[in-house]
Amino acid sequence: MEKLMTAKDAVREAIVSAKADKAMSWEEIANHVGCSPVFLTSACLGENSLTDDQASAVTSLLGIDSAHIPALTSCPTKGQRIHELANDPLVYRFQEITAVYGETLKELIHEKAGDGIMSAIDFTMDVEKIEDPKGDRIQVTMNGKFLPYRRW
Amino acid sequence: MEKLMTAKDAVREAIVSAKADKAMSWEEIANHVGCSPVFLTSACLGENSLTDDQASAVTSLLGIDSAHIPALTSCPTKGQRIHELANDPLVYRFQEITAVYGETLKELIHEKAGDGIMSAIDFTMDVEKIEDPKGDRIQVTMNGKFLPYRRW
Amino acid sequence: MEKLMTAKDAVREAIVSAKADKAMSWEEIANHVGCSPVFLTSACLGENSLTDDQASAVTSLLGIDSAHIPALTSCPTKGQRIHELANDPLVYRFQEITAVYGETLKELIHEKAGDGIMSAIDFTMDVEKIEDPKGDRIQVTMNGKFLPYRRW
Amino acid sequence: MEKLMTAKDAVREAIVSAKADKAMSWEEIANHVGCSPVFLTSACLGENSLTDDQASAVTSLLGIDSAHIPALTSCPTKGQRIHELANDPLVYRFQEITAVYGETLKELIHEKAGDGIMSAIDFTMDVEKIEDPKGDRIQVTMNGKFLPYRRW
Amino acid sequence: MEKLMTAKDAVREAIVSAKADKAMSWEEIANHVGCSPVFLTSACLGENSLTDDQASAVTSLLGIDSAHIPALTSCPTKGQRIHELANDPLVYRFQEITAVYGETLKELIHEKAGDGIMSAIDFTMDVEKIEDPKGDRIQVTMNGKFLPYRRW
Amino acid sequence: MEKLMTAKDAVREAIVSAKADKAMSWEEIANHVGCSPVFLTSACLGENSLTDDQASAVTSLLGIDSAHIPALTSCPTKGQRIHELANDPLVYRFQEITAVYGETLKELIHEKAGDGIMSAIDFTMDVEKIEDPKGDRIQVTMNGKFLPYRRW
Amino acid sequence: MEKLMTAKDAVREAIVSAKADKAMSWEEIANHVGCSPVFLTSACLGENSLTDDQASAVTSLLGIDSAHIPALTSCPTKGQRIHELANDPLVYRFQEITAVYGETLKELIHEKAGDGIMSAIDFTMDVEKIEDPKGDRIQVTMNGKFLPYRRW
Amino acid sequence: MEKLMTAKDAVREAIVSAKADKAMSWEEIANHVGCSPVFLTSACLGENSLTDDQASAVTSLLGIDSAHIPALTSCPTKGQRIHELANDPLVYRFQEITAVYGETLKELIHEKAGDGIMSAIDFTMDVEKIEDPKGDRIQVTMNGKFLPYRRW
Amino acid sequence: MEKLMTAKDAVREAIVSAKADKAMSWEEIANHVGCSPVFLTSACLGENSLTDDQASAVTSLLGIDSAHIPALTSCPTKGQRIHELANDPLVYRFQEITAVYGETLKELIHEKAGDGIMSAIDFTMDVEKIEDPKGDRIQVTMNGKFLPYRRW
Amino acid sequence: MEKLMTAKDAVREAIVSAKADKAMSWEEIANHVGCSPVFLTSACLGENSLTDDQASAVTSLLGIDSAHIPALTSCPTKGQRIHELANDPLVYRFQEITAVYGETLKELIHEKAGDGIMSAIDFTMDVEKIEDPKGDRIQVTMNGKFLPYRRW
């Protein structure tokens, strides 16, 4: 694991560095790869795994050594940076939303679909900026499969 | 504070009880009040404050003593149930999403709008069930004002 | 919520008390209800929800007031007793197994099925005693749907 | 200790690296060594100790320096990676199972076998993928000796 | 559970109260019951379970209602008072001993008996005062079965 | 401090390494030095300080540079590895014993000797393996001076 | 235990209440009892035990029911209020002193007396106000027996 | 900061090393510098700042490069080693004293001087060994300005 | 203590309730008493102590039983509600300001005044709303005595 | 991220070092750059981002390599040093102010402006030393936009 982790960290650093040198955005890379910017960014940061084709597209676009491809396609250990990120105001606001609205989400998801949860695995997310004369807005759309609790 | 807190707890309990007796959904109550189900539910659970009109609409619809109205319009102390909710699988998934995608959200919001955050105060949220033959899905849409960090 | 929680606690106490008075086992109750002992026990303790029929079967078998049925069928807030249970040696051993074998489970599940997880929602569990002349053994079988991480 | 710990880390890294280079699975290595894949994987990751014969079989199969054998046969300090793994969704699900079903396990083990625990030391575990047209499943079987609390 | 817990708490309180009224020591009660003072005390405080005979001997000796017997023979949830006890100097010294000598115990038990642990379940403990002109001493003797880690 | 700490770590590593090369046990080293194996091991691991004579005996027996002697005789900062050891099953069992029997120890020590504690400083400990046909046992004997609380 | 704890709490409340009604200071009570104000206060607050004579002196002086005497002479569970006191600025300053000067105390005590500690059991403490034209000062004098680490 | 912190660490290490080489005590260094041993030690360990004259006296006495002087006179970030020191028995005893006597200190300081605190900034401390035939004692004297809470 | 604490809680509740019944603001009460709204509010909520005159002014203005006066003038245990308040977004923002600007405050206070701190005891605070066409602003002014670290 | 973080750390170190070499104050640098000392300091320490012009002004004033400019203008991960700073007395006082006055701030901001918060993003802060014959004072002025909670 340690080894693959290091490999994940190395490719992350190589991508962030090349992306800065080429002044490319995550959105441009995602468009080139043909997938969602959220998914592409999370995989490059080490929180998801790419297919071989996706990984090749990333490394060739950014001019990164193809030896990094296995690190991009291997299964990550997720969530490992959350402790250092938890005090950052942007990230904290999402924790605050769960603190303030978590019980509301629980009530409404149960009301709409019964006893179960929204999957965070069979899950997609989008981030958009919505222009607004009173101040632009950020819209985050989360979409997860409803998983009913099994009775057996 | 303690007193108002108790008042918040009392009206919450009165609402949840009357709602169960009348077999009404949060959505029906929200439609009656004329606001979003997420906002209505969060206010009834004690995480937001209603206007006087909204509070009257809730108490008269559910047949609750109007003496509860000040508790519904007072400013709440928010986020107080998160510790007991944090081990619940439905609520935990939202924490997991922040753990896994928090850095991605940070990257993309900064990429789209510069140095700043998505407000959790000037903020709205929607929860929908999306029918899908492969399994229904839950869609949560968060929409917050982008607040640029001030330089002074 | 508080109210329903209290209702969950009340029915739990009524069941545990009636079960002791009638000297019935969880297994006997489960057989009468027609479901798994693990599922039945977890629902009676407040960690899962029963169908109306299952709840009626429980209350009539144990001679409990049918007014408790809604508490048994409502969606629970799960995992709320883990902090007080975490120092109990029997419960701790399962935490220890995750501490010692968690990375092994990660390696082997990824090896067998790719990037994804074993669901704890679409999930069943069995507990059996296996007689053994060198000392009886406990066998716990967990069975959860493999959920592949979605790429989008 | 520090030294042996480092030795454990070094052999772990050597194994993970050679396994990747030779494209071998944990299951293939375990079959060659003649033991369970769970046990073999846990020992290679540093959570269990091998016999001399098992350790030699591993190093010769993977072409690793036999100087690593003492590290594989020495007594490990277990559970040291759990904090960094605890936010990973796959590992968290096992903690969630303990949170949700821990009291149920306690009830049923006591019901079947009296006052005591399931050993996590005199313990075996199996992981299998079960093909299922509605979605493959993962089955984890834990088997531990029942240890009755001694009265003295 | 809650109910049985309350029952455990109730019998604990009844015993501590009757013991004070009758000015009996734990040692006298244990001698009457015919078991070790450590075991007897731990069971009366709610951390172990007695046999029916032992429980009857306790209740009759102390003149406690025999309705308390099932609470004494039921399986306890153990370790629940450790958080409130952890700052007490007498209890803390035992935690300090583990902090200072834990690695030493690990080294010497492995040296003497191989890879395994000392059981805390198949376990007995004695506490003695040893008179000493330079100041009396307390001797605590712990005796647990060595459990070798299973290889499978 | 940092410097002495490093010195403590360096001598620890030198001892563990030389001990492995010479295939000596802690017991053999202790016998050579003329002190208890528990004390010797704890001092070599960095949790106690040796006298000059004891330190010289250790370094000459193991063929370690005598420049390490001051590190062995200096006052250690104790208990610094407990956080990484706390998840190890062997070490955890001792914490569990305190969790389960801590209040019992408190009751019995007060009963035997009055208001006071067992010292962990004026303290000795022994570890023995006791052969037993039903499975060998580990016996740990702790012996500390009783310190009565001073009233002033 | 619970019962004695309650008794400790009850006598504490009775003393604090009677002390307020009679407008007596801790110092006056201590002078009447013939012991140090620090010791007397700590015992009345439930952190130390009095002798029978001391307890009688307290109850008769304050006009408290003598049934409270056993609660004053029983062995307390100490340190239980520290979590609620830890955010109080006066109490925090003593924690800050340990944080800032803890290593200095370690260095100087070892320098003066060798490897050992200052006992917190065979220990006395005094609190004085020292008048000073530039602002009065508080002087706290701690005096504990030096306990050398035993080598065995 | 980082840089100055490193500078603080470097001068600390240089002082501890030179002090050992020259076999000087903290007391001797303090006498040479003309200040209290507690203050001198705390400043050398990185918890206080020296004046230029004091810093020069330290570096010239110990033969340390005068380039270290700014590190000794810069404002430190205090309390950063407390987490690693907290399990050390000598340091823990001071935390225990706060846990056991914190409320007593609060009562007596308020009784003597009203609503306010003892400053830990306008503060001095002394450590002395007091010879005693029944065992030497350590006396720690803390002296801080009483700061009354301001009403405004 | 417990008793006085209860008294603090009781007067707090009486004040909050009477203030709501009379529809008075904290600012009006403070103006009547002749002190700062921040100080008055904090004292009524239990975090500061009033003089006898101030306490009488509060109770007579609000029509509260004068038996509450001693509770208002007694020394409070401060900071006890912070844990329940810490997840509230308004309160959290002040913690966030410390997290983001704490090191900056340290740098600038040291730069302006040398090694020392801003007192939180000899301290005043003001809260004002500043009307602004682009959105009103809140201004919080903190003013504390600079306390230089004593060298001795 | 890691890479940019390192870049943030590197420029921070370069600035702190050059600032010391040139003996410049934060205030002088801020005056040169034309912004507030608080903002300038926080950006140089890595908690805010500068504009290109501001960053160029900093690097040219201090004679730092202009390759550091992107690190100064990139979006920081904020709040990451708070854990190591939290025990420092100067920083702790600000946490204490929130603990003691947090509820008061909540009451008064709600009283003045309704349900909402003071923004920590659209926020400015000033630090001033105020000369005072009775001891200089530090004044910290925080000014944040009032954000009303949105109802939707």
How does pLDDT run across D81-96, given as a tens digit for each residue? 999 899 999 999 999 9
Rg of chain G on CA atoms, in Å:
18
Is the pLDDT score of H35 beyond 50? yes
**G touches which chains (3+ CB pairs under 8 A)?**
E, F, H, I, J
Inter-chain CB proximity H77 and J88 less than 8 Å: yes
Q: What is the mean pLDDT of residues C123-145?
A: 97
Residue with the two structure tokens 């509301």: A104
pLDDT band for position B22 (50/70/90)? very high
Q: Do J121 and B149 touch (CB under 8 A)?
A: yes
- Averaged pLDDT, J26-55: 97
**Which residues does chain H have within 8 Å of residue G25's beta carbon, measured at their own beta carbons?**
111
Are J115 and B8 in contact, with CB atoms under 8 Å apart? Answer: no
- Residue G63, burial from CB neighbour count under 10 angstroms (0-12, 13-18, 19+): exposed
Instruction: Name the one residue in this structure whose structure tokens are 């076998």.
Output: D113
Residues of G in contact with H113 (CB under 8 A): 129, 136, 138
Strand, helix or coil at C78? coil
**H144 and H118 in contact (C-beta within 8 Å)?**
yes
Mean model confidence pLDDT for chain D? 94
Q: Are E16 and F111 in contact (CB under 8 A)?
A: no
State the pLDDT at residue D3: 40
Among candidates J16, J84, J89 on the partner chain, residue whose Cβ is nearest the Cβ of H3: J16
D96 is catalytic: yes
pLDDT value for E42: 97
- Residue A121, chain D, CB below 8 Å: the answer is yes
pLDDT of amino acid G3: 39
CA distance B112 to B103: 14
Q: What's the pLDDT band for A30 if we cut at 50, 70, 90?
A: very high
Chains B and I physically touch (3 or more Cβ atom pairs below 8 Å): yes
Angle at B66 between CA B62 and CA B70, to 5 degrees: 115
Cα–Cα distance for residue pair B26/A111, rounded to 1 Å: 8
Q: What pLDDT, in 10s, does the model give residues E74-117?
A: 999 999 999 989 999 999 999 999 999 999 999 999 999 999 99
Contact F87 D70 (CB under 8 A): no
User: Pick from D2, D70, D79: which is nearest to F9 by CB?
Assistant: D2
Does A145 sit within 8 Å of B142, measured CB to CB? Answer: no
Chain D residues touching F84 at Cβ < 8 A: 77, 80
When CB atoms are compared, the residue of A1, A3, A79 closest to D87 is: A79
Burial F138-152 (b: 16+ CB within 10 A, else e): bebbbbbbbbebbbe
In angstroms, the CA B59 to CA B69 distance is 7
Smallest Cα distance from C136 to chain B, Å: 33
| G146 torsion bin: left (phi>0), alpha (psi -120 to 50), beta (else) | beta
G16 in contact with I at a CB cutoff of 8 Å? yes
pTM over 0.90: yes
Nearest to A121 by CA among A97, A143, A94: A143
What pLDDT score does H137 carry? 98
A96 touches chain I (CB under 8 A): yes
pLDDT value, residue E7: 87
Structure confidence by residue, pLDDT tens digits, I92-147: 999 999 999 999 999 999 999 999 999 999 999 999 999 999 999 999 999 999 99
pLDDT at residue G126, rounded to an integer: 97
Q: Check residue E6 and give its pLDDT.
A: 76
Q: With an 8 Å Cβ cutoff, are F77 and H84 in contact?
A: yes
The pLDDT value given to residue A7 = 87
Q: Is C111 on the interface with A (CB under 8 A)?
A: no
Subunit contact A1:D16, Cβ cutoff 8 A: yes
CA-nearest of A151, A146, A150 to A117 is A146
Strands (E), chain H: 116-130, 137-148
H-helix segments, F45-125: 52-62, 69-73, 82-85, 89-113
Give the pLDDT score at E3.
40
Question: What strands lie across the sheet with B137-148, from one edge to the other?
Answer: A116-130, A137-148, B137-148, B116-130
- Cβ–Cβ < 8 Å for F16, D70: no
Question: Quick one: pLDDT at residue A45?
Answer: 96
Q: Among residues A13, A27, A96, A107, which one is catalytic?
A: A96
Strands B116-130 and A116-130: unpaired
Closest alpha carbon within chain E to D125: E152
- Which regions of A18-134 does DSSP assign to beta strands (E)? 116-130
* Confidence bin at B7 (pLDDT 50/70/90): confident
**Quick check: D33 and D54 in contact, CB under 8 A?**
yes
Ramachandran bin of G97, using left for φ above 0, alpha for ψ from -120 to 50, beta for the remaining angles: alpha
Which of chain D's residues have a Cβ under 8 Å away from the Cβ of F13?
2-3
Cβ of E85 within 8 Å of Cβ of F106? The answer is yes
I4 pLDDT above the threshold of 90: no
Point out the residues of chain G with pLDDT beneath 50: 1-5
The interface predicted TM-score of the complex, written ipTM, equals 0.94
Residues 6+ apart with CB under 8 A from C132: D145
Tokens representing E115 are: 């890879």
**DSSP label at C149?**
P
**Helix, strand, or coil (residue E136):** coil
Residues of E in contact with C84 (CB under 8 A): 77, 80
The pair of structure tokens assigned to E140 is 């605590």
Phi first, then psi: give them for residue I56, nearest 5 degrees.
-65, -40
- Neighboring chain I residues of G19 at a CB cutoff of 8 Å: none
* Chain C residues near residue E82 by CB distance under 8 angstroms: 87
DSSP E38: H
Distance CA G55, CA G76 (A): 14
pLDDT at position H1 over 80: no
Q: In chain D, what are the domains?
A: 2-73 (1.10.260.40), 82-148 (3.30.1160.10)
C16 interface with D at CB cutoff 8 Å: no
Q: How far apart are CA A24 and CA A63, in angstroms?
A: 12
Tell me how crowded residue G3 is: count the other CB atoms within 10 A of its CB. Answer: 16
Query: What is the per-residue pLDDT for H3?
Result: 40
Q: Which helix (H) or strand (E) holds F67?
A: none
- On the question of pLDDT at C96 being above 70, the answer is yes
Tell me the chain E residues in contact with residue F126 when contact means C-beta distances shorter than 8 Å.
Answer: none
A66-70: list long-range contacts, CB under 8 Å, 24+ apart: A68/A7, A68/A10, A68/A11, A68/A14, A70/A7, A70/D20
Q: How many CB atoms lie within 10 A of CB B72?
A: 26
The token pair that represents C50 in the structure block: 């029963």
pLDDT digits (tens, 9 = 90+) for D86-130: 999 999 999 999 999 999 999 999 999 999 999 999 999 999 999
Model pLDDT for residues H58-75, shown as the tens digit of each residue: 999 999 999 999 999 999
Mean pLDDT of D119-146: 97
Residue F6: predicted pLDDT: 76
Nearest to G141 by CA among B143, H97, C124: H97
Q: E interface mutation test: which of F8, F110, F140 has the most E CBs within 10 A?
A: F140
Structure tokens at D12: 């772990």
User: Which of D87, D99, D100 is opposite residue B99, by nearest beta carbon?
Assistant: D87
Amino acid at E131: E
Q: Given strand C137-148, what is the order of strands in its sheet?
A: C116-130, C137-148, D137-148, D116-130
Q: Could you report the per-residue pLDDT of F68-123, keeping only the tens digit for each? A: 999 999 999 999 999 989 999 999 999 999 999 999 999 999 999 999 999 999 99
Q: Which of A92, A103, A134 is the best residue to mutate to test the I interface, defined by the most I CB atoms within 10 Å of its own CB? A: A92
Q: Taking CA C45 as the corner, what is the angle to CA C41 and CA C51, rounded to the nearest 5 degrees?
A: 70
Query: Which ranges of chain E have pLDDT less than 50?
Result: 1-5
pLDDT classification of D20: cutoffs 50, 70, 90: very high
Please give the structure tokens belonging to residue E4. Answer: 């049985």
Chain H, window 52-71: residues with a beta carbon less than 8 angstroms from a chain I beta carbon = 54
How many of the other CB atoms lie within 10 Å of CB of H113? 17
Q: Is H103 on the interface with E (CB under 8 A)?
A: no
Residue percentage of chain F with pLDDT more than 90:
95
The answer on pLDDT for J1 being more than 60 is no
Chains contacting H (3+ CB pairs below 8 angstroms)? E, F, G, I, J
**Angle of helix D52-62 versus helix D26-33 axis, rounded to 10:** 130
Nearest CB neighbour to B119, from listed J48, J147, J152 = J147
Taking contacts as CB-CB distances below 8 angstroms, the residues of chain G near F53 are none
Q: Which chains touch E (3 or more CB pairs under 8 A)?
A: C, D, F, G, H
First to last CA, chain H: 36
Say if H4 is an interface residue toward chain J (CB within 8 Å): yes
Q: Report pLDDT for A4.
A: 43
CA dist., res. D91 & res. D86, Å (int):
6
Work out the minimum CA distance from F41 to partner chain G, whole angstroms: 12
Q: How far is F94 from chain C (nearest CA, A)?
A: 12
Residue B6: pLDDT band (50, 70, 90) is confident
CA dihedral of residues B37, B42, B43, B49 (deg, nearest 10): -110
**Separation of alpha carbons J37 and J139, rounded Å:** 14
Question: Which positions of F are catalytic?
Answer: 93, 96, 119
DSSP string over chain J = -HHHHHHHHHHHHHHHHHHHHTT--HHHHHHHHTS-HHHHHHHHTTSS---HHHHHHHHHHHT--GGGHHHHHSPP--STTHHHHTTSHHHHHHHHHHHHHHHHHHHHHHHHH-SEEEEEEEEEEEEEEE--TT--EEEEEEEEEEEEPP--
D79 close to F (CB below 8 A): yes
Average of per-residue pLDDT across J66-84? 94
G133-148 per-position pLDDT tens digit? 999 999 999 999 999 9
Catalytic residue among H17, H66, H93, H103: H93
CA distance E86 to D80: 23
Is D114 at the interface with chain E, CB within 8 A?
yes
Q: pLDDT, tens digit, for every residue of B108-138?
A: 999 999 999 999 999 999 999 999 999 999 9
User: What residues in G contact E81, CB-CB < 8 Å?
Assistant: 1
Contact of J118 with J146, CB cutoff 8 Å: yes
Dihedral (CA of I133, I134, I136, I138) sign: negative
For chain I, strand residue ranges (E) read: 116-130, 137-148
Catalytic member of J96, J103, J107, J128: J96
Residue F33 has pLDDT above 70, yes or no: yes
Contact state of I88 with B82 under an 8 Å Cβ cutoff = no
- Tens of pLDDT, residue by residue over A6-16, are 789 999 999 99
Look at phi and psi of residue D77 and say left if phi exceeds 0, alpha if psi is from -120 to 50, else beta: beta
Residues of F in contact with E125 (CB under 8 A): 97, 101
User: By percentage, how much of chain J surpasses pLDDT 70?
Assistant: 97
> At A100, is the pLDDT very low, low, confident or very high (cuts 50, 70, 90)?
very high
What is the Cα–Cα distance from A56 to I15, expressed in whole angstroms? 69
Q: Is the pLDDT of residue H124 over 60?
A: yes
pLDDT > 70: percent of chain A: 97
Q: How many CB atoms lie within 10 A of CB I133?
A: 5
| DSSP label at residue H122 | E
- CA C86 to the chain's CA centroid: 16
> Out of G13, G60, G66, G96, which one is annotated catalytic?
G96
**Which residue among C27, C42, C101 places its CB closest to the CB of D125?**
C101
Rounded to the nearest angstrom, the minimum Cα separation between I134 and chain H is 32
- Angle (CA) D110 D112 D117, round 5°: 45
Q: Is residue E138 within 8 Å of residue E130, measured between CB atoms?
A: yes
How distant, in Å, are the alpha carbons of G96, G97, I14, J126 from that of G100?
A: 6, 5, 41, 28
d(CA C46, CA C44): 5
